[in-house]
Structure 1
Amino acid sequence: MLQKAKYGIRFKIILGYAVITVFFIISILIVNSQVSSMQEQRNYIIEHDIAVFDLTNQIEKHMLDMETSQRGFVLTGDPAYLEPYTNASSSWKEDYTRLYAMLPDNPEQQKKLELIRSTIQHWITVAGDPTIVMKKENKTQELDAFFKSDPGKKDMDEVRAQFKAFRSTVKELTLDRADKLDQMNRTLVFGFYALMALVLLIASGVAASISSSIVRTLREVTEAITEIASSKQSHRRIPVSTQDEIGMLGEATNALLESHEREYWLQTKVGEVVTMIQGMPDTRTLGGKLISHIAPLLNATYGVIYIVTGKAGQQRIVKLASYASSGENAGFDGFRVGEGLVGQCVLENRMFHLTDVPVDYIHISSGLGKASPKDVLIAPIAYEGQVIAVLELATLETFAPEHLQLLEDIIESLGIMINSVESRTEVERLLRESQAMTEELQTQAEELQTQQEELRVTNEQLEKQNRFAEEKAQELDRIRVELEEYTEQLQQSSQYKSDFLANMSHELRTPLNSIIILSEMLSENKKRTLTAEEQEYARIVHSSGNDLLSLINDILDLSKVEAGKIDIVVDEMNVTELPAHMSKQFMKVAEQKSLQFMIELAPDVPTIFLTDEQRVHQILRNLLSNAFKFTERGSVTMRVQTAEPKLVKQLFSPQRHDTVLALSVSDTGIGIPADKREVIFEAFHQADGTTSRKFGGTGLGLSICREFAKLLGGHIVVESEEGVGTNFTLYVPSLEPNKQRHIHETAVSFETDAPAAVVPVSRLTPAVPPSTLFAGKHILVVDDDVRNVFALTTWLEDAGFHVTVASNGQECLDALNGDVPIDLALIDIMMPVMDGYETIRRIRANPQLAALPIIALTAKAMKHDREQCLEAGASDYISKPINMNQLTSLMRVWLAKE
C-alpha cells in the first residue's frame, strides 16, 4: 500500500508544484553558476594576473639586489654587502617556484620561466659566485680580467628581455580574459530570459498532465463500477492504469472479486469431495476414491494415501491406495511413526512442501514416456488433534497457492469422514465378533458340562500329584541345606588356602630375603676376599633366589585368580607408549641372545584405550618372556593393531565392542605341537613336560595370562608350527571407564608382585653418594629372624651405618628411648609379642619420635599391607625379599629430609 500511495492525488499535486519549484531552482542555480563563473574570471584576472606581474617584478628585483650586492662587495670588500646577495639568492627561488606553480595550464609560459631560471642560474654560476670567491681570496688581477669582459652583463640583459617578453604574454592573456568576461555577461542575460520561458512552459505542461490523469482515472473507475453493477458476470475486472487513490480503489475492488471467486471455488470443490466420499463401506474403498478425486483436483499427477493403524507406541503407517502408480508399487508399504517424512508428518502433525525435487526421486510415467516431479506435498489428516492418515501428492508443475488452500480445507473434513468410516467398520467388526462369540459361547456351554466331569477326574489326579510334589519339595530342601553346607566348606577351604599361602609367602620370603641380600653382597665382592669362582657361585645363588621369588609370585598370582578375587581397574592406557615400555624391558635380552626384536604399531590404532593397563602389561611381559625363552635364533616381533571386524564378531558374539585391540607376540622359536596347544594354558604344564626338557620354567605364565585375559573380557589365540615358530595374540576390548570389576567379594586377595615404594617427585633429592650420606648415621633394625638381621646388618654397616638391633617391638621401644640417637628405623611387621603395627603406633604416640623416619618391612605380601602400614604411622613401605637398590633410594630420601 505504501508503494502505491506515493502516486496518490495529493502526491501528484505536490509533485506538480515540486517540479515547477525544482525547475525554478535549477534556473536560479544556472544563473548563479554563470554569475559565479564570471566572478571567478574577474577574481582570476585581479588575483592571478596581477600576482604574476608582482612575482616577475619581485624576481627582477632579487636579481638587481644580487648584482648590486655583488658589485658592492667586489669594490669595497666589506662582507656587509653580501647580506642582500645571500637573501636574494634564496628568495628568488621561492618566488620563482610560486610563479611557476601559478601557470599549470600554460606550458608555453612555463617554458619561458624555465629559460629565465637557467639564465639566472648561469649568471650566478658564471658571474655572481666566482667574483665573490675571487674577492674573498684577493685575486685582484683575475677580477680585473673578469670585469673587462664581464660575461655576467649579457646574462642580466637577457633576463630583463625574457621577463619583458613573459609580461607581454601575460598582458595579452589578461585582455583575452576580459573579452571573454564581456561575452559571458551577454550570454547570461539571454540565458536568463530563455530559462524563464522554459520554466513557464514546463509548469503549464505539468499542471495539464496532473489534472488530466486525475479526471481520466475517476472517469474510468466510474464507468467500470457502472458496468459491474449492471452485469452479472463475476469474472469482469476494473482496468487500473494509475497508481493513486482511485487506482487503489480499483485494485481493492478487483481483489474482493477474486477473493469471492476463490472462496466460491474452494467451497464448491470441498463440497464435491465430501459428497463423493459419503457412504463408503470401508477405508480402502474410501482411500481409492479419495486419491482418485483429489489428485486431478490439485493438478497432481501422482499420489499415495496412508492410514495410521495400531495403538499408541505400536503404531504403523500403512499404504491405503495410490494414484497413477507405475509398474512398481507406488510408495513404500509402510512406515513407523517418525520414520521418513511421512512418519515425521504424523509425529509433528504438519504439512511438508518439497520444491526442486531431485531427478531420481520418483518417475511419473505414461504411455509415451516418464518424467520427474517438481513439487511434492505431504499433508497430515487429523481427527481431534490426532493424525489418522497422510496424503502424499506429486506434480510435474508446481502447486499453486489456491491448491494448497484447497488441500487445507479438504483435509479438515477428511479427518471426520475417515474416522466415521473407521468407526462404522469397527462397529461392524465388533458386531460380527459378538455374533461369533455368542455362537461360540453356546458351543462352550455344551462342552462345559462334559469338561466338569473331566475336571472331577483331573482333580483326583492333581491331589495325587500334590502329595508327590510335597515329597519332592522336602527332598529339595534337604539338598539345599547340603549345598549350603558344602558352599560353606568351600569358603572355609578357600580361606584356609589363602591363609596358608599368605603364611607360606612369609615363611618363604623371610629366609629368601637373607639369601638374596647376602648372595648379592658376595657377588659384588666389595672386600675383595672371594675368588672369581666363588664370586660366580654367589651370583648363581642370587639368581636362583630371584627365580624362587618369581615362582612364589606366580603361585600367589594363580591362587589369587583361583580364589576369585581380582580387581580390574579400568583407566586410560596410552597405546603409543606400549612399544617404549616393552622395548626398554626386553631389548637387553634380545641383545644377549643375539635375536632381532621388532615392535610394530599400526597407524589406525587409537592413542587412548580403556582397560587395565597393569594387567595388559603383565600379559605382554609373560608372552615376550616365553618368546625369548623358546627362541634361539631369528627374531621376536610384537604387533599392536586393531582387530578385524569379522574376527571380532566371531570371538565376541553376541557382545558388541566398538574397538578391540589385537596385541600379538610372534617368534621363530621351537613352536608348539598341535596336541599341546591347549595343555600349555593349564597350570604347571609346558609343551615339553618331561624332566629332561631343555627350557626351564614353572608353566604358570600362560595360565595366568589366560585368566587375566578373561577378566579383561578378552581372548588369547595361539597359532604355531613345530620347528617354525609361534604367534600368541591377545584380543582385548575397550571397557567402561572408572569402574572396577570384582570377582567373588568374600575371598582373600594377595599382592602378587612385591609393591614398590611410591616416592613423590617433590621428595626426591639430588648427584649424593650413599657412603657420604649414610656415614655416621644410626639405624635401628627390628626383626625377629636372625638371618635377616645378619644380612641387613652386614649390608648396612658396609654402607657406613651404625646399626642397633632389636628382636621385637618392646626392645625397639627400649632402644629408641636409650642414649644412642636413632636417625632411621627398619621395622618388620610380623613379629611375636608385639607386631610391627603396634610398635609403630607406640613410637608415633611419643611426641619426641613423631618425626622419626620409619620404613616398614613385611614378607606376607597381603593386599592393603602398604595402606595398613601407612595408617599405623610408617613413613614408607617395602616388601621382602628386599631390593637393596630400592631400600637405598628410600633411605636416601628420608635421611635427606632431615
Structure 2
Amino acid sequence: MTSISRKTVIDSLDTAALVLDLKGRIVEVNPVAAQLLSLKEQQVCRKPISSILSWWREVEQCNGDCIELQKDVQPTVADKKYQYNVQITPIWDDSENLTGRLVLIRDITVERAAEGAQSLASVRAEFLAKVSHELRTPLTSILGISEMLDYGVYGPLSLEQKEALRLIADSSQHMVRLVNDLLEQTRLEHGALELDIAEFVIEDLINRLRVNTIQGARSKSLSLTFEIAPEVPVILRGDALRLYQILRNLVDNAIKYTEKGHVKVRVFRTGQEQSAGHDTEGYVEKYAFEVSDTGIGIPKDKQTLIYEPFLRVYLPNGSNGNGKMNGNGSSVSNGHVEGFGLGLSIVKQLVTLMDGEIDLVSESGQGSIFTVRLRLEPATEPIPMEKAP
C-alpha cells in the first residue's frame, strides 16, 4: 500500500487511527484520532507516541516484543477517567518487510459504564427477589398465627392482648406490602409482568380501594372521597389488578403526605381514539383516574425525580421523601415516612405497561394531583356476577 493510498484509507476510518514507524514515532494521525486525543498532526509528527500520550506506557508494558496487541486501558485525561480499547497491528510492505504499526483506539467509556450498570441492576434484582421470597414465608406464618389468636383458637384474649395482637397484625401487613413492592419492582425491571385483560366492574374496584384505604385516612382525620362520573360504563375491559395497584399506590401516597384536608379519587371519560390493530370502526375510550390531595406538594424542580426507584429526595427547610415538602416547612423524619420509595416508580412502570400516561400538577405546600389516562374498552356483553372482581 503506498503512502498516499494508505493515508486516504486511514483518514476515512470512523475509528481513531495513528501510524507509527519502527521506532514508535507518530507518522500519521487521522481526523478522528486528532479529535479524540486532542492532537494536531503537524505538532506530533515524528515524535515518540510515549511522549505525546502519557498513558501509552501502560500499553508498552504489555506489548513487549510483540508487534500485535489488543488491550483495554483506563487513562486519566484532565482529571477525567476514560476507557479505551487499543488495537495494534503490523504494517508490511510489498516485500513483506515490517515498516511500522497501525494503532486503532476506540473510546469505550460509555459502553463499559452501561455494562457495569446493567450488571449491577441484575445483581440488585436477584438480591431483592431472593430477600423478598425469604421474608414472605415467616410473614405468612405470623399473619396466620395472628388470625388464629384473633379467632380464639388458643383461648380468650384480654383487651391488652387484643391490642398487642392488632399491632402485630398491622405491622405484619405493612411488611407484606413492602415485600410485595420489592417483588413487583423486580418483576417490572425484568419485564416479567404480563397484562391480564378481562372485563371488570369499575364500581367493585373502587369499593375495594375504599375499604382498604379508609382506615389510613381516618387515622389522620382526613376526608377520603370517591367519584365515578355518570358517563363511565359500569363494566370496562382491561387489567383490573394492575389498575388497582396503580390507584392503591397513589392513594396510599396521598394519605401518607397529607396531614389535614382531603384525598379525592375521580374516574371520568376523557375521549375516544382509534384502536391500534382495528379497522376504521374499532375505537377505544380513554378514561382518567385522578387522585388529588391537600398535602405537602412536590416542588417543580423535583417532579422528574419522583418516579425513580429507591429514591427519596431530601430538600432544604425540613422536607423529605419522594420530593415532597411540608407546607409549613417542618421536617418529616424517616420514622414518619415509611416504605422504600417504590410506590410511584411502580405506578409509572405499570402505567407504561398499560400504554397509558401519567401527569402531575403540584406545587410545594399546595397539594398534588396525579392523573392516569388509560385506554379501556367498554364491555360488549354483561359480565356474570360471579366473575366480577
Give me the TM-score of the superposition, normalised by structure 1: 0.26
Give CA-to-partner distance per residue, 1:69-103, whole Å, 9 cap, x none. Answer: xxxxxxxxxxxxxxxxxxxxxxxxxxxxxxxxxxx
1:537 matched to 2:179? The reply is: no
Number of the residue aligned with 1:613:
240
1:523–1:536 Cα contact (<8 Å) kept: no
Query: 1:425-460 CA deviation, whole Å, 9 max, x = no partner?
Result: xxxxxxxxxxxxxxxxxxxxxxxxxxxxxxxxxx99
Q: Alpha carbons of 1:599 and 1:461: their partners in 2 closer, same or farther (altered >3 Å)? A: farther
Q: Is this contact kept in 1: 2:132–2:182, CA < 8 A?
A: no
Contact 2:358 2:371 in 1 (8 A): yes
Counterpart of 2:144 in 1: which secondary structure?
helix
Change (3 A) 1:516 1:586: closer
Deviation at 1:572, TM superposition (A): 4.3
- Give, in angstroms, the shift of residue 489 of structure 1: 7.3
Distance 1:606 1:526, change over 3 A: closer
Offset at residue 592 of structure 1 (A):
5.7
Query: Residues 589-623 of structure 1, C-alpha deviation per residue, up to 9 Å, x if partnerless?
Result: 55565544332223334556554332111101111
1:671 paired with 2:313, answer: no
- Report % sequence identity: 35
- Give 1:594-609 correspondences, 5 Å limit: 594-605=221-232, 609=236
Which residue, out of 348, 352, 369, partners 1:727?
369
Q: CA separation in 2, counterparts of 1:558 and 1:668?
A: 28
The separation in 1 between residues aligned to 2:265 and 2:118, in whole angstroms, is: 41
Q: In the TM superposition, what whole-angstrom CA distance separates every residue of 1:5-43 from its partner, at most 9, and x where no partner exists? A: xxxxxxxxxxxxxxxxxxxxxxxxxxxxxxxxxxxxxxx
Give the letter for the 1:472 counterpart: T
Over residues 461-510 of structure 1, what are the superposed CA-to-partner deviations in whole Å (9 max), with x where a residue is unaligned?
Answer: 66633244468399799969999998887776555444433332332223
Say yes or no: does 1:465 pair with 2:15.
no
Tell me the CA shift for residue 705 of structure 1: 0.5
2:132 aligns to what? Answer: 505
Distance, in Å, in 1 between the alignment partners of 2:287 and 2:223 is: 24
Structure 2 SS opposite 1:556: helix
Q: Is the 8 A contact 2:205 2:240 kept in 1?
A: no
Deviation string for 1:206-235 (max 9, x for gaps)? xxxxxxxxxxxxxxxxxxxxxxxxxxxxxx
CA–CA distance in 2 between the matches of 1:693 and 1:720?
A: 25
Residues in 2 aligned to 1:658 and 1:527: alpha-carbon distance in whole angstroms = 55
Q: Tell me, in whole angstroms, the C-alpha distance in 2 between the residues paired with 1:682 and 1:490.
A: 15
| 1:662 equivalent in structure 2 | 288
Please name the residue that 2:359 is paired with: 717
CA distance in 1, matches of 2:192, 2:343: 18
What does residue range 691-710 of structure 1 map to in structure 2 within 5 Å?
691=333, 694-710=336-352
Structure 1 residue corresponding to 2:262, chosen from 623, 631, 635:
635
Structure 1: any 5+ residue segments left out of the alignment?
A: 1-458, 649-656, 738-760, 762-898
| Contact kept? 1:635, 1:668, Cα under 8 Å | yes
8 A Cα contact 1:525 1:535, kept in partner: no
1:665 partner amino acid = V
**Match runs of 1:76-475 below 5 Å:** 464-469=7-12, 472=15
549 and 702 in structure 1: CA distance in 2 versus 1, 3 angstrom threshold: same
User: TM-score, normalising length from structure 2?
Assistant: 0.55
For residues 228 and 373 of structure 2, what CA distance do their matches in structure 1 show?
Answer: 15
Q: 1:550 aligns with which of 164, 171, 177?
A: 177
| Higher relative contact order structure (alpha carbons within 8 Å, sequence separation ≥ 6) | 2
Indicate the SS of the match to 1:643: strand
Tell whether the 8 Å contact from 1:636 to 1:668 is kept in structure 2 after alignment: yes
CA contact (8 A) 1:494 1:563 kept: no
The 2-side partners of 1:632 and 1:493 are apart by: 38
CA distance in structure 2 between the aligned counterparts of 1:667 and 1:462, rounded to whole angstroms: 71
Q: Sort the Cα spacing of 1:483 and 1:610 in 2 relative to 1 into closer, same or farther, 3 A.
A: farther
Q: What amino acid does structure 1 have at the position aligned with 2:166?
A: R
1:727 aligns to what SS in structure 2? strand
> Which amino acid in 1 is paired with 2:131?
M
Structure with higher helix content: 1
SS in 2 for 1:659: strand
CA contact (8 A) 1:595 1:634 kept: yes
Instruction: Give the secondary-structure state (helix, strand or coil) at the position aligned to 2:291.
Output: strand
478 and 660 in structure 1: CA distance in 2 versus 1, 3 angstrom threshold: farther
Q: Which structure carries more strand by proportion? A: 2
Asked if the contact 2:312/2:341 (under 8 Å) is kept, the reply is yes
